[in-house]
Amino acid sequence: MALVLKLTRRAEFLRAARIGRKWATPGLVLQAVATPHPIRSESAARLGFTASRRVGGAVVRNRVKRRLRAAADLVIKDHAEAGYDYVLIGRAETAQRPFTALLQDLETALKRLGRFSSAVAAGSRAALESSGNGTPSS
């Protein structure tokens, strides 16, 4: 299980867009880039979220980012390779996409970028899938 820190500065997001690798799925776009050496931690991954105005108004963008954060809580901490910065970008379909499909999109993107670690937290995934309504429960 990797420690997950936040990306907060605009320059960090721009760096991921400029030199990072990316993979697009129907529900999201994932960008991954190695964390810069001076701040790199081999036990931590850094994570940021964004949604442009093309996704919708402020209410829709905030909902998209909340859904991405919930998906990342379940997938990134257990499956993302540490020592990398990840940026999750919301798409227009993110707001309506079933939550289990969003989780699958994130796992697929991690695998395609070669940053998927096979440490499994099957209990949390099974509990989510058995909730029935496709949204995470708190």
Q: Assess if residue 30 is contained within a domain.
A: yes
CA of residue 29 relative to chain centroid, distance: 8
The secondary structure of residue 124, as a DSSP letter, is H
44 vs 134: which has the higher pLDDT: 44
Helix (H) or strand (E) holding 128, with range, is helix 122-130
Q: Assess if residue 137 is contained within a domain.
A: no
Count of beta carbons in the 10 Å neighbourhood of residue 13? 19
How many structural domains is the chain composed of?
Answer: 1
The domain containing residue 123 runs over which residues?
Answer: 3-128
How do residues 26-49 score in pLDDT, each as one tens digit? Answer: 999 999 999 887 777 677 889 999
Q: Assess if residue 136 is contained within a domain.
A: no
SS3 88: strand
Q: Assess if residue 138 is contained within a domain.
A: no
Q: Assess if residue 134 is contained within a domain.
A: no
For the segment 70-88, the average pLDDT, to the nearest whole number, is 89
SS3 138: coil
Least confidently predicted of 7-16, 83-92, 93-102, 116-125: 116-125
Contact 63, 27 (CB under 8 A): no
How far, in Å, CA of 83 to CA of 101, rounded? 26
Q: Up-side HSE of residue 52: CA atoms within 13 Å toward CB?
A: 6
Query: Residue 77 is encoded by which pair of tokens?
Result: 């901490």
- Sign of the torsion formed by the C-alpha atoms of 6, 11, 14 and 18: negative
CATH at residue 85 = 3.30.230.10
Q: Please give the pLDDT value at position 138.
A: 45
Q: Report angle CA 106, 111, 116 to the nearest 5 degrees.
A: 90
